[in-house]
Amino acid sequence: MNRKTVFKSKKTIIISITSIAVVLLLSSLFLINMGIVSAQWNTQSNIEGFKINNATGALQETLYIYINDLSVFAEELRAILSEEIESQLTSTRAINVFNVTDNTENTSFLGLHVTEESIRYHPWSSECKYTIFYYFSNMGNTEYFTGFKNAETMYDNPPVIFNSSDGKQLLDIGQISIQGSFHGLFTKPKMEEMTIEQISDEIMKQVGK
């Protein structure tokens, strides 16, 4: 083997190793949770409440949670919310994923419908924006949920009618808007983790009030 052939062989090996390293580095940006990052948040909550018979937002022993699966974070957000509720609101002993066939009477119901989800990721500077429709009933009232979540605004919705014979009823509906900006050197999973935690924190400020 002459020198020229040896040189070409070494060059090929170096290029191959470099290519593999670049691929691994780029892949890690989307697969590994790591980085140094600072985040700034702008959040707004516009919640409207309805209640009868001096009802409070206290949760029942069983809570049903619905999060529309259109959100890429639905499963992760559901898990973190469950952990937060179990640790902070000890009156709730069972947390279930809501199915339309479930009987939620005498339970609590939390419905979240993501109406806007926008993510712009770069390893050094990123942004996200979320708009979430929020619906909470202390007694598992899901009667108005579909009408409210399909409304174009929180004021374009069916009228809420309670009967005094229904006992203590509380219903909170509204909108939570969250915008985040991230700066540093970080992976996409790291940004997503911080976003999910921020969304969970904002929702927890409303649950059980």
Look at strands 108-120 and 125-137 and give their pairing.
antiparallel
The span from the CA of 121 to the CA of 187, in Å, is 9
pTM of structure = 0.79
Of the two residues 1 and 195, the one the predictor is more confident about is 195
Domain limits, the chain: 1-31, 33-204
Q: What is the side-by-side strand order in the sheet with 169-186? A: 35-52, 169-186, 125-137, 108-120, 62-67, 94-97
Q: What 8-state DSSP symbol labels residue 105?
A: T
Interval 50-72 mean pLDDT: 80
Q: Per residue in 74-92, pLDDT tens?
A: 888 888 888 888 887 777 7
